[in-house]
């Protein structure tokens, strides 16, 4: 079974992903792949530099995500241009990793994809788990993670699909507003109900 794991910013998706990893499930991590495909010296990074200039690189040749983020924030054309470079490479590597896990005998593979719904990647998975929290909890977590004001935290939350919209695509929703123990309990119940094997 291919399970898609998603959520919104500060929803605790990474926490659930780590729980699954500890249980022994192979994880295909879209964020990690997104970092790997633009490592110094990669073709993709050269392409990004050609389009956005060397100001998006640190002195050591690695990608300066903050500068790149500022360039594409609010510039739809630049964002689409960057996505056109990044997305095919990320998806190709995600599929490669998934196939590798299956070839190695895994019965279940977890596809950890933050923008699973936004990127319309539902066809990549058989079941979807959405990790959900209230906006109030999101704001509190974002503020404790970064030194953000309520307004800044809200802007980041509102830049993504609303949680209730994501939940409509879910085969199961984990309510992550309470304790980690309760979160893991919900996860175990989902895996059990789906007869998930390692």
4-53 pLDDT, tens digit per residue, is: 999 998 999 999 999 999 999 999 999 999 999 999 999 999 999 999 99
Model confidence band, residue 59 (pLDDT cutoffs 50, 70, 90): very high
Mean pLDDT on 67-79: 87
Mean pLDDT on 114-135: 95
Q: What is the pLDDT of residue 5?
A: 98
Q: Which residues of 145-176 are buried (b: 16+ CB within 10 A; e: fewer)?
A: eeeeeeeebeebbeebeebeebeeebebbbeb
Q: What is the mean pLDDT of the chain?
A: 94
Q: What is the pLDDT of residue 36?
A: 94
Query: DSSP labels for 32-65?
Result: HHHHHTT-TT-HHHHHHHHHH-GGGB-TTS-B-H
Distance separating alpha carbons of residues 5 and 11, to the nearest angstrom = 12
Q: What is the pLDDT of residue 68?
A: 93
Q: What is the pLDDT of residue 147?
A: 67
pLDDT over 80 at 148, yes or no: no
């Amino acid at each position: 079974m291919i399970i898609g794991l998603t959520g919104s910013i500060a929803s605790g998706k990474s926490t659930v992903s780590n729980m699954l990893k500890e249980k022994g499930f192979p994880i295909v991590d879209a964020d990690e792949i997104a970092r790997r495909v633009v490592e110094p010296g990669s073709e993709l990074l050269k392409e990004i530099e050609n389009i956005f200039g060397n100001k998006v690189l640190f002195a050591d040749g690695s990608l300066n995500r903050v500068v790149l983020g500022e360039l594409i924030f609010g510039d739809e054309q630049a964002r689409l241009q960057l996505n056109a470079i990044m997305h095919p490479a990320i998806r190709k590597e995600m599929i490669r990793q998934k196939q590798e896990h299956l070839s190695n005998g895994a019965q279940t593979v977890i596809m950890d994809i933050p923008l699973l719904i936004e990127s319309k990647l539902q066809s990549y998975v058989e079941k979807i788990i959405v990790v959900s929290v209230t906006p109030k909890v999101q704001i509190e977590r974002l503020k404790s993670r970064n030194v953000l004001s309520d307004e800044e935290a809200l802007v980041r939350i509102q830049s993504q699909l609303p949680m209730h919209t994501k939940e409509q695509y879910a085969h199961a929703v984990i309510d992550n507003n309470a304790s980690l123990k309760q979160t893991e309990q919900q996860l175990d119940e989902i895996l059990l109900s789906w007869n998930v094997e390692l």
